[in-house]
Amino acid sequence: MKSPITGKEMLLKREKCSLSFRKEEFTISSHFYLCEESGEQFTSTELDELNLLQVHNQYRDKYNFRQKNVI
């Protein structure tokens, strides 16, 4: 992904962070692109979905929610 600020390619990075979901905190590996020149972080729709999926999966595991098979 190219930086909207500099137009240069950005690095894909990960770091631990906490996200709140249904009044609970969950720790995930947040994925984002880093513009090295400006220090700004950016995400894409795909990365946002990946980050949110981690929270949803942790919530499901915590409360033993099983996904039903859809035919």
CA distances from 15 to 2, 24, 33, 57, 66 (A): 20, 19, 11, 18, 28
pLDDT tens digits for range 14-58 = 999 999 999 999 999 999 999 999 999 999 999 999 999 999 999
Q: Among 9, 69, 7, 65, which residue's Cα sits nearest to residue 34?
A: 9
CA distance 33 to 47: 9
70 pLDDT exceeds 80?
A: no
Q: Which domains are present in the chain?
A: 11-62 (3.10.20)
pTM of the predicted model as reported, rounded to 2 decimal places: 0.81
Q: What is the mean pLDDT of residues 2-9?
A: 95
